[in-house]
Amino acid sequence: MVRSKNDKAFDVLVYGILLFVLLITLIPVMFVVSMSFTPYAELIKRGGFVLIPTKVTLGAYREMLGDGLLLGGMWITVQVTVIGTTLNLIATTLTAYPLSRRQMPGSKLVTKLIIFTMLFSAGTIPTYLIVKATGVMNTIWAMIIPSLITVYNLIVMKAFFEGLPEELFEAARIDGASEFGVLIKIVMPMSLPIMMTIGMYYAVSHWNAYMVAVLYISDAELRPMQVILRRMLKQANMDTNSVEDVVPAETLRMAAVCFATAPIVIIYPFIQKYFVKGTLAGAVKG
């Protein structure tokens, strides 16, 4: 097939736009990563903007890892993320599936009541009082239970379940399967895209948890990584950077960004295909 000049010009235009989008996306990432490895002298010499440093230093990362609480905070964050995401998926699935079945009495009313909480939330103080009254303050459960089900994720998952062929459910029931058996043997194997998508939403939320830890956690040994990084950055801003061997606050800040986002960036490419498919499928009927 012979391509015309207009087709070739259009391809050039498309690739030019894609290259431009790539650059405006890549440059901020390069800036953050480069700044985290930039020595103090070069940072001052270049006026605080470095994309490709001529010298590399690990001073910012050594200072972060030298803090004894950071590794403990990262372990707390990993526990909250893994346990929290698992419980989030179980609770969201067990709520979304019955609400997606037309034969469930009152499903529409319950759905409307759940959506109502998106418009009018209880607020910080009532939630704090409830968490305190339940006795989970200063435990990892205080960072998991209050956000066990997110309404948006519930609606997306419910919409996905509603889009599954009803004939499969009827055939399973004729074969004698219970509703729980239908969920485990029919629904779950077909719901991998939406599970990965919702799981990613929950995992990122737990990994970046900061405010819930500030509100509910006062024990230093139970503080997650984000709280400890915030304390380190605040301390770095208070320190003077007039001495050359002191790690600049900006360098430490960029190193903290890289340290906190690296696990999510590494994991995301492996679930990207499920993420896109689950988002589109769950949004069709939502």
Q: Where are the domains of the chain?
A: 1-57, 61-284
Of 184, 209, 247, which Cα lies nearest the Cα of 37? 247
| Other Cβ atoms closer than 10 A to 96 | 27
Answer yes or no: are the C-beta atoms of 157 and 163 closer than 8 Å.
no
**CATH entry, 61-284, from 3.30.1300.10, 2.40.128.20, 1.10.3720.10, 3.30.70.270:** 1.10.3720.10
Of 42, 179, 151, which Cα lies nearest the Cα of 92? 151
| pLDDT at site 241 | 46
Query: Could you read off the pLDDT of 108-163 as tens digits, one per residue?
Result: 888 888 888 888 877 788 888 888 898 888 899 999 998 899 998 999 888 888 88
Which residues of the chain, if any, have pLDDT below 50? 240-244, 282-286
Chain centroid offset of residue 146 CA? 17
Number of H helices, E strands in the chain: 14, 0
Q: Is 210 left (phi over 0), alpha (psi -120 to 50) or beta?
A: alpha
The secondary structure element, H or E, covering residue 89 is helix 68-100
Please state, in angstroms and rounded to a whole number, the distance separating the CA atoms of residues 111 and 134.
26
What's the distance, Cα to Cα, between the start and end of the chain in Å?
A: 42
Answer yes or no: are the C-beta atoms of 50 and 32 closer than 8 Å.
no
Please state, in angstroms and rounded to a whole number, the distance separating the CA atoms of residues 58 and 254.
12
Please state, in angstroms and rounded to a whole number, the distance separating the CA atoms of residues 93 and 59.
45
Of 195, 197, 205, which Cα lies nearest the Cα of 143? 205
| pLDDT at site 48 | 67
Q: Sign of torsion, CA 221 91 196 146?
A: negative
The Cα-based distances of 266 to 45, 51, 52 in angstroms read 33, 22, 22
Q: What is the pTM of this model?
A: 0.78
Please state, in angstroms and rounded to a whole number, the distance separating the CA atoms of residues 119 and 98.
23
Please state, in angstroms and rounded to a whole number, the distance separating the CA atoms of residues 146 and 212.
9
Q: Sign of torsion, CA 228 229 231 236?
A: positive
